[in-house]
Structures are given as structure tokens and as C-alpha cells.
Structure 1
Amino acid sequence: MSLNIDQKQVYNENVNKIRDDVYKTKFDEIESMGLLGTYLMVSANLSTFISDVKSDNHYKVIQDIQFHRSLSSLDQYYFHLLDDLETKDEFNTLEKCHDEGHIFVTYHTGSYRLFIQKLNKENIPFCLVTEGDYIKDQGDVTQTLFKKLNNNKRDLEILPAENPRLIFELIKRLKQGISVVFYIDGNKGASNKSLEENKNLLKINFLNNHIYARQGIAFLSYLSKAPLVTALTKRDKDLNNSICLKPVDTLKLINDNDRNGFINIITKKLYGELESFLKESPEQWEGWFYIDKFFQYEDSQNEKLKTKVNFTSDQKITLKINQFVHLIKHSDENMFLVSKKDYKIMKITDFLYETLSYFKTPRVVSLNKILSIRDTSINWSMLEELIEMKFLKSV
């Protein structure tokens, strides 16, 4: 008992240290820490998918995201958290896993590493599918903790997602009664093609935009007919952990749809679980650090044609800031432009920031008149330059 109390005390001390490290770091310090680029990238991702979070609030939101991300790394070392883990399993899925292999789809939310440890603690046979980079960077730690939790002598089977024969390997495991665990929101897959050209990806609506989602899990579900379950972990305001297991009614969908229809519906449903969670708790998702890998801006056909536009001097046009331009103002000395097409970062002047911000709302401009923005005169040649740089566009 005393060991458990000591473990909890050490854990709480580490949580407080993380809290201090994250929330006492001022914006001016992140550049010297080499974190400015990461901050601006995450800020751009937030603006792409959750527009109602104003950029003025991004620093606080990103601090919250980093706090939860750091907690997730810490939590895996403290097994007492499993004793306090609230498991919502209305259909007794974990019990059924002892008799039949299941497909588990989970996400990088809350204390997401606890799900694997929960399966291990319950002695449920399972394998983990993940990217080769994870195996290289975190595979040894995962194996050490897997063995330590239950005094296991065997290794956890971790299968690389890039394996072209993976689906056949997984069907074999499922038939043997071994469940399969996917972190659906982390696998980028292996392809040199653009997202739009990659036939393994399905373009789906996600929050305020879209992503290109891998369809392999839905395909595995269709071929194997194995039970499909989502597992979503989260924290409450007191940092208590819970996990919710939800079976997906795949049999009815298989009967009512052809293969492609089934795969489309299931893929959207699996990401829909994550989408619903993020609308309530965006700070508890690690994916903000890499969601841009699943997204690309697409020029409309009109924009593709209008690489160079000739305007007449007596013309009036409506200009608007381009959708891929993300502006961030943290202070009068710290203003940035991030291109969400290629994530290039520019530190900009107050003048350029105010000019581009003015065009967040479409504005009618007369080419033969000087434009005044906050008592500063702007001539047409400057606006034309911003159009050529694709910071502004005519609408």
C-alpha cells in the first residue's frame, strides 16, 4: 500500500513540474528553445480546422495541448493510474475479446497509452499496428513497459503499417483470436503520391475543413467480419482518466452496402468519433502537431487560371485574403505569416499585418484611388504585389 501511495506522490509531483514548465514559459522564450516553428505550425492547424478559436487565444490553447501531450508520456510509467481508470464498456467488449479477436480503433486523445496497458492488464491477446518511425523511436520503451506491467516474458507484437501484406497478416491474427489495435489518427502511410492522387485515401469532411483518411481499417473490417470497436480516452477537469468503448454495427452496414459504400461509411464514422470529441476538448488531442500531413489546400479552377491578372485603371475589384494565409499577432514585436500550403513562416511588419488583416473581410478597391488603412496610404502597386504573391485574391 505504501508503495502505491509513494508512486502517487511522485506522479503528482511530476504533474506539477510539467504544469510549471508548460504554463510558465513565456512566448518570448519559445524561439530560443527552438519551438517557435512548432508553435506557428500548430496555430496554423488550429485556424484551419477550428476557426472559432481566435488566433489571439492560440498560445493558451497550445499550452493546454502541450500539457496534455506531456501528461500522456508521463502516464505510461505509472501503473496505478489503471486502478483509477474508469472504463465505460456497456457491451462487455473486453470480456468478449478473450474468445474472439476484435479490431480496436483508438485515437491520440487524453491518456491514450493507457488503452494498450488496459488490454495488457486484462490479459487480452492483441497486436499493435503502427508506423515504422514509432517502432524505431518508442518500440523499446513500449516493450519494456508491456513486460513490466504483467511480468510478461513475451514481447508485444508490433506490426509496421507500411507492410504491403499487412492486411493478410491481420486477418490471420484475428482468426487466431488475437485482437488488433490501430491508432487511426497517426498513420500517414507510405506513398510518394500527393494526398489527392493517393487511391488509398478518402477525402472526408473534418471539423471546419477536410482531411485525407486512410481506408485500410474499414477494408480489414469488411474482409474479416471481425467486431469493430472504437476506444476513446479522455481526462476530466481533475485529470481523472476514462475510456469509452463503442462497438460499431458493421454487420448491418455490410448487408446494406457494397464494399466501397461500406468502406466510405465506416471511415467517416471512425473519424466522426474523433471529430465529436474535438468539438468539446480540442486541447486533449496530440494530432494538432501533425494533422497538416493529412490535409492539402486545393486551388479552385478559377484560381489556377488566374496566375496573372491584368486590371484596368478605372476598374473596381473585390479583394480578400487568401485562405491559406494564417496571420498571428502575439505582440507588437511578434507578428507572423504562415503559408498553410507549405508551412513556410515569415516574420512580418505591423504594416503588412494590418494590411492583410483588413482584407479578412472582402473589400471593394478602386484601382485609381489611394486606399487608406489605419491612416496609412496604400497604392495599387503594393496591392498588386500582394496578389501576385497570392496573399490576396480577387473574388
Structure 2
Amino acid sequence: MLTAKQLYKQELENCRKHFEQVDLEKEQGYLMKFTTFSATVGNLLPEIPRDNHATMFSQLLLQQVLTTFDQQCLTAGDLVKQRGAHKMLKKEAGPRIYCTYHLGSYRLLTSVLFRQGVDCVLLVGSNMNRTQGDGMAEHIEGLRKKHGLTNVFRVVETGSPSAGLTVLRELKAGRSLIVYVDGSPETAPGASDESQFLSVRFGNRRVKTRKGVGYLSHATGIPIVPVVSYRQPDMTNVLHCLKSIKPIVQSDREIYCQEAMQQLYDAFWPFLNQYPEQWEGWNYIHSFLEPEMPKNGISRRGGFRPAFNEERYS
């Protein structure tokens, strides 16, 4: 009789086989999506040969299929390998602000925390809520019924006018927040909300990032816990908890926000370098990239300039 882990990997293999039957280049919008992906990879990780971009993009699309399957599988969270300061994922750790990224099977963090009895508030963009919200709600309800869980789960949309106050109240009520700090397409900076963003280093470039996470941590005194999700070559999902970022009482809020967000992006960078084909952020990070300053000191307009791939089309 097969174990739960063997059955899980068998289903992942079935997902992979179905995926490989699809002719990606004939799929609607493929060329535009791949062009954006390739240009952004070239800007952030120029050391990756452009000839590798098509394979990376295919791997990313497969990763998205596997991530969707994981959300439908109630046992996927039980098979996750936890590394680092994983005691922070338990209810006994108290309320925390869990900051994660769209890397690997990133939705499993919510599943694991809820399974541990943690009262969770998931902060997501409106588009993500529309496309994934029902699936996550079904997953949570399935866990609730299977394990007799009674803890709280709530979704708050970042675009809601009352989102900040709602999350602040939830944190003060002892609930934990889960937030994706690497952004999403609908949370990119606009002309009217520039004051909500700050600039941080991201590799050799700089990106705009919302500072709300740092503000909430400083205002409530609740530590930030960076958590990185990734999938190993043997298909095992890993949640790696990094060192908590703790606010200092009576410290300057703006300085704390800047330092906390920089630490979050610094923590993510080595994982992105190791698993670049697992990051969904390639599809939208160009909206957050600051214009690069060339050597002559004249700034380009826009977040990046796509480079024509002469090798691919020669």
C-alpha cells in the first residue's frame, strides 16, 4: 500500500505528464508573457544566459500547475519539510506578521499555519482573491472538517479602503497576519499612492515596496517572521523560517519600516538566485522596478527596457 507521500508524488507526476502534452507556444498570450518574463530576468539576473529563459519559463508554468494542485490537496501541508526557526509556525509563538513571497508552493504557508491552530488573516490583492480566494476558502474548510479545527481564518483585500484598520484590529486581537511582500500586479505603485512606498535594494537594482508591513509591526510591537517556500528537486515542499525582525520600543517608525523591508528583500535574494524558475514575481516585478541610472547619469523612462534576443531570433 502506498504511503501518503508516495501518493502525493504520484499525483504530481501525473500533473507533470499532462502539462508536457501542452504546446505552450500555441497558448493564447504566450509570446507576450514570455517576452516580459525574459526581459525581467535579464534585468535582475543577467548572469542567466538568455538561451535558458524559455526553459525557465516553462518550469515556472509547471510550478504554477503544481501549486494549484497543492491547494486542492488537503495532505500537502502535512508533507511540508520545515526548516530554520520553524517553531515560529506554531500557535504557541503568539501573533506574528508572516512575510512570504510568491516562490515555490507559496500558498502552503497558510495551510500549515491554519493546521497548527493559528488564527490567520491573509492579506491579498483583489485579483488574487478573485482567482484563488474560493480555492483557498475550500482548502481551509476542508482542513477544518478533517481535523476539527475551530481557529479563525479571514481574507482581507489590500485595495479595500479599510484594509489597514481592519488588519490592525485583527493583530491587536491576537491574530496573525500573512502577507506577500514581493507585491502583485494590482498592488504596483501609482502616481496617487507614492507615499505608501519606499525604495529598497534588490540585487543590483532597486524596487518600490509598500511599507505597510513595517508600519503594522511597529505600531503593534509584533515581530515580522520571513518565511520562504520552495520546492526541492525531489518535489518536496519546504518552508524555511528566517530570523524574526523585532521592532524596538520608541524607535523611529520610518527608519524601522525602511530597515525591515530591506531585510525582507535581502533575505529573499539568495533563495531567488537558487530557485529562479519558481518565482511568479517575474511576471509583474517590472511594475515595481525603479528606472536604472546609466553611467552617463540620464535615467531611462519606465521600470525596464526589454532587450532584443538576437541569439534566439538570428
Work out which of the residue numbers 286, 295, 299 in structure 2 matches 1:292: 286
Alignment-derived partner of residue 16 in structure 1? 16
Alignment-derived partner of residue 78 in structure 1? 73
Work out which of the residue numbers 30, 34, 43 in structure 1 matches 2:38: 43
Alignment-derived partner of residue 230 in structure 1? 226
Work out which of the residue numbers 301, 307, 312 in structure 2 matches 1:326: 307
SS at match of 1:211: strand
Q: Which amino acid aligns with 1:221?
A: S
- Are 1:168 and 2:168 counterparts? no
State how 1:56-71 maps to structure 2 within 5 Å.
56-71=51-66
Where do 5+ consecutive residues of structure 1 fail to align? 306-322, 336-349, 351-395
- Are 1:270 and 2:264 counterparts? yes
CA deviation string 1:160-179 (max 9, x = no partner): 11233323222221121111
Higher relative contact order, structure no. (Cα contacts within 8 Å, ≥ 6 residues apart): 2
1:30 Cα deviation (Å)?
Answer: 0.9
SS at match of 2:208: strand
1:297 Cα deviation (Å)?
Answer: 2.8
- Check conservation: 1:129, 1:159, Cα contact below 8 A: yes
- Change beyond 3 A, Cα 1:60–1:190: closer
- CA distance in 2 between partners of 1:33 and 1:60 (Å): 18
The percentage of aligned residue pairs carrying the same residue is 23
Work out which of the residue numbers 76, 101, 104 in structure 2 matches 1:107: 101
Q: Which amino acid aligns with 1:281?
A: Y
Where do 5+ consecutive residues of structure 2 fail to align? none
CA deviation string 1:124-160 (max 9, x = no partner): 1111011111222222111111101221688831001
- Check conservation: 1:75, 1:111, Cα contact below 8 A: yes
- Change beyond 3 A, Cα 1:299–1:91: closer
Work out which of the residue numbers 122, 130, 136 in structure 2 matches 1:128: 122
- Change beyond 3 A, Cα 1:5–1:284: closer
1:113 Cα deviation (Å)?
Answer: 1.1
- CA distance in 2 between partners of 1:137 and 1:164 (Å): 21
Higher percent of residues as helix: 2
Q: Which amino acid aligns with 1:282?
A: P
- Change beyond 3 A, Cα 1:16–1:153: same
CA deviation string 1:304-352 (max 9, x = no partner): 79xxxxxxxxxxxxxxxxx824112465xxx3xxxxxxxxxxxxxx5xx
CA deviation string 1:191-231 (max 9, x = no partner): 6417xx71211122212322111111011111110121111
- CA distance in 2 between partners of 1:296 and 1:286 (Å): 19
Taking structure 1 as the reference length, the TM-score comes to 0.69
Alignment-derived partner of residue 215 in structure 1? 211
User: Which one has the largest radius of gyration?
Assistant: 1
Q: Which amino acid aligns with 2:12?
A: N
- In the alignment of these two chains, the number of paired residues is 306
Q: Which amino acid aligns with 1:258?
A: D
- CA distance in 1 between partners of 2:260 and 2:158 (Å): 19
- Change beyond 3 A, Cα 1:281–1:91: closer
SS at match of 1:210: strand
SS at match of 2:174: coil
- CA distance in 2 between partners of 1:267 and 1:80 (Å): 33
1:65 Cα deviation (Å)?
Answer: 1.9
Higher percent of residues as strand: 1
- CA distance in 1 between partners of 2:83 and 2:35 (Å): 37
- Are 1:280 and 2:267 counterparts? no
Alignment-derived partner of residue 338 in structure 1? none
- Check conservation: 2:189, 2:288, Cα contact below 8 A: no
- Check conservation: 1:235, 1:242, Cα contact below 8 A: yes
Alignment-derived partner of residue 54 in structure 1? 49
- Are 1:139 and 2:133 counterparts? yes
1:9 Cα deviation (Å)?
Answer: 6.6
- CA distance in 2 between partners of 1:191 and 1:211 (Å): 10
- Change beyond 3 A, Cα 1:263–1:302: closer
Alignment-derived partner of residue 94 in structure 1? 89
1:182 Cα deviation (Å)?
Answer: 0.3
State how 1:379-394 maps to structure 2 within 5 Å.
none
- Change beyond 3 A, Cα 1:9–1:238: closer
- CA distance in 2 between partners of 1:11 and 1:47 (Å): 34
- Check conservation: 1:202, 1:213, Cα contact below 8 A: yes
- Check conservation: 2:37, 2:282, Cα contact below 8 A: yes
- CA distance in 1 between partners of 2:252 and 2:290 (Å): 29
1:76 Cα deviation (Å)?
Answer: 1.3
- Change beyond 3 A, Cα 1:226–1:266: same
